[in-house]
Amino acid sequence: MNASTKLLERRRSVVPPGVGQFAGETTAVSGRGAHLIDADGKEYLDLAGGIGVINVGHCDERVVAAIREQAGKLLHTCIHVATYEPYVALCEKLVELLPHGGTTKAMLVNSGAEAVENAVKIARQATGRSAVLCFTEAFHGRTMMGMTLTSKTKYKVGCGPFAPEVYRVRYPRPFHEGAGLPEEEFARRELGLLEETLANRVAAEQLAAIIIEPVLGEGGFIPAPLAYLRGLRELCDRHGILLICDEVQSGFCRTGRWAAYEHADIVPDLSTWAKSMGGGMPIAAVVGRAAVMDAARPGTIGGTYGGNPVACAAALATIAVMEDLNLNERASRIGGIVRERFDRLAAQSELVGDVRGLGAMIGLELCHGRDPRRPAGEAMAAVAASCRERGVLVLPAGRDGNVLRVLSPLVITDEDLDRGLTAIEESVLALTETTTA
């Protein structure tokens, strides 16, 4: 029995299966840049990036050095007990990078789900309203409010009852519901559905916030049409509803910008951040307009570990690496390469229904006969298994698990990217031959 099999057996005997496994039975001992080494010394090219956490690569030297240095000074005191510089410095950096109109403030927590929870609490206190509107296909985490806001039933089954006063409207998905409509017209039609929801399900005056992922992450790497995001901003302004952008997966260079919402030239009232912001350490943030953030009463937001000094030092070093290497530009270049290769693949394989994304957040949707109503989840599972055989880790996404999402570290070399894309292409084409034979 090899070392990976032994480790997986140990896992099975003490870790419940509810803690799911996305990338097959992979083990990991160490990582560097875009590479992972498993328990048997096998090397993998990591296009999963720890589910969007590793934009600066595994174990970047500067991030590791910052963690070591901070760990030797102060591991913990809790921001509610004593103020320490790394917490304040990270909030200063966040408000500099992510201005929310006028004065901006930030608070730190441990995970994306916690950021979402706190954003909702802040929005409710700031507006004095209780309802929240979210979207189909959304993923906002596994805490109770996060799970309520999440759409995919597979992630929620048996876990209710869920939080009250949460309403849902259809996420604008051009490939699935656009039927060839020009983008502006499609966006207008989908915004009409939202207006209808305000007339029939929840009054605008009851809504504290609308929460949206500018690019669906778990939901299938689908960017909302930019006209839709602008329309949403306008609708929120008209009704005094706060707009929350969940940038947990799309933020920190993934789309070629710090925030995906920047592509639409909009600014939310509140936004949530985690994953790649910490370079691998558990840290997350809520950023918002000062007037909104200041509405939260003392004691209603925060927590024991939120903004842990070591995690703050890691995040500050991570952001410095992103700036130094200009990872926003690199993401745009990676996105261009990936899109070109996927477009070519789409022309060769009728399993490829859609290629879409922003920057390096690119999804490849597999459907039988390119028909969005015939999702090929089993084909995606076969492609992931075949890529893994070839030493390349990829992740599925989407309601039916039929979208291949590229979350490679943005420090990946062109040669490695080529190797990863070749593995994907060969896996899809091999399958195309067997499914059409």
- One residue of 49, 50, 86, 112 binding ligand PLP per CB under 6 A: 112
- One residue of 116, 134, 266, 397 binding ligand PLP per CB under 6 A: 116
* Minimum separation from the CB atom of position 324 to ligand PLP (A): 25
* Minimum separation from the CB atom of position 139 to ligand PLP (A): 5
- Would you say 204 or 223 has its CB closer to ligand PLP? 223
* Minimum separation from the CB atom of position 217 to ligand PLP (A): 4
Binding flag, residue 321, ligand PLP (CB under 6 A): no
Q: What letter represents residue 173's amino acid? A: R
Binding flag, residue 140, ligand PLP (CB under 6 A): yes
Binding flag, residue 131, ligand PLP (CB under 6 A): no
* Minimum separation from the CB atom of position 373 to ligand PLP (A): 25
- One residue of 27, 104, 111, 125 binding ligand PLP per CB under 6 A: 111
* Minimum separation from the CB atom of position 99 to ligand PLP (A): 21
* Minimum separation from the CB atom of position 347 to ligand PLP (A): 30
- Would you say 206 or 398 has its CB closer to ligand PLP? 398
* Minimum separation from the CB atom of position 250 to ligand PLP (A): 7
DSSP lists the bridge partners of residue 270 as: 244, 288
Binding flag, residue 117, ligand PLP (CB under 6 A): no
Count residues binding ligand PLP (CB under 6 A): 15
- One residue of 46, 190, 218, 269 binding ligand PLP per CB under 6 A: 218
Binding flag, residue 141, ligand PLP (CB under 6 A): yes
> Interface with ligand PLP by CB under 6 A: which residues?
51, 111-113, 116, 139-141, 213, 217-218, 246, 248-249, 274
